[in-house]
Structure 1
């Protein structure tokens, strides 16, 4: 193993220790009560080492989510890959990837979105998912015929905000029910609601989701 690989492995190991320590502390005393000193002590490292990796406790939890969100933003092509597959049972692959990410970090999301978590974290998730939805909005509108808008639409930001809260609620429900369902199942169910409910919220005549 090269020196660079050893260094990278050491960095990832330290970050994992910090993340695990933070999750344990959130469960015990709540996110707002935790300090950087608490996290460093639980992870058995010094504060200087913590600050070499993260700016503060907010940066620690945000980076886990935002790195994935930014990756999804940069790889939006799957949402446009096959416009013919517009049935409710065929979610864009980007949402499958999103729920896989949640499953991989289920303890973090359960801790941060639970009763001892932080509204700040939920707000950050909402902010980034709204960006994802804006990127995919043109794809959604392609699913209806030109001129199919039948009612006055809501202000654009309102249905996006509503849908981001639905996504957070879906994540919380999934994790609290011990996630007996796969990421693809959750992506399918979320997409089913988003595809038909969201278009209706925008003022379009949404197709009937029931199978014929």
Structure 2
């Protein structure tokens, strides 16, 4: 058992080092210009070790984005009453914007025009929000629109609005754009029994 715990810690450490290296590189250059050697050099990890954990740089980026969204979703869930999907979306959107603002270089240098990254972000947000809506439904919230449609619509809107905000040099404060987003999300049709 002790060997498994040590192995798990090594795996987590390797993933952390590779993720941090990719984030650092994304603050300097486009994802398309980053190669595996750059990531491994920055992380001080051998290429063979990289390939033991990830298929390629896209797999690493997808893992990084999934972990990011998982953490944002966890924080949003902690800040939201159990049966309040509208507030959940508002919190998740605010957390996403804050993350983008804190990591503006990564989002504006490394990820623009990268369809894979944006699709991965939208997919991760969609999966998390769908799971949350399913949980809300299990706890008695009734939606008049099927959950897969709701989660796809709101996750797409959330990610695309956040990208628009960033690409336009954050023309509104986070509070303002969240307020407008909340006004639109408030149209979410929920029937409580």
TM-score band, normalised by the shorter chain? 0.5 to 0.7
- Please give the alpha-carbon distance, in whole angstroms, between the structure 2 residues aligned to 1:26 and 1:167: 22
Gaps of 5+ in 2: none
The structure-2 alpha-carbon separation of the partners of 1:133 and 1:44, relative to structure 1 and needing over 3 Å to count, comes to closer
- Please give the alpha-carbon distance, in whole angstroms, between the structure 1 residues aligned to 2:119 and 2:9: 32
List aligned pairs for 1:1-212, cutoff 5 A: 2-67=2-67, 81-82=82-83, 91-92=87-88, 96=91, 107=103, 111=106, 113-117=107-111, 118-133=114-129, 136=133, 163-172=154-163, 173=165, 190-196=181-187, 199=189
1:123-151: CA deviations, max 9, x gaps? 12223434455553886xx678xxxx9xx
Deviation at residue 160 of structure 1 after TM alignment: 6.1
TM-score (norm 2): 0.60
Q: Please report the RMSD computed on the Cα atoms of aligned residues, expressed in angstroms.
A: 4.8
The structure-2 alpha-carbon separation of the partners of 1:115 and 1:81, relative to structure 1 and needing over 3 Å to count, comes to same
- Please give the alpha-carbon distance, in whole angstroms, between the structure 1 residues aligned to 2:155 and 2:96: 17
Gaps of 5+ in 1: 205-212
The higher radius of gyration belongs to 1
- State the aligned residue count: 178
Structure whose residues are more often helix by fraction: 2
The structure-2 alpha-carbon separation of the partners of 1:114 and 1:168, relative to structure 1 and needing over 3 Å to count, comes to farther
Deviation at residue 23 of structure 1 after TM alignment: 1.7
TM-score (norm 1): 0.56
Kindly indicate whether the alpha-carbon contact (under 8 Å) linking 2:40 and 2:50 is maintained by their aligned counterparts in 1.
Answer: yes
Deviation at residue 171 of structure 1 after TM alignment: 4.0
Q: Give the secondary-structure state (helix, strand or coil) at the position aligned to 1:125.
A: helix
Q: Give the secondary-structure state (helix, strand or coil) at the position aligned to 1:114.
A: helix
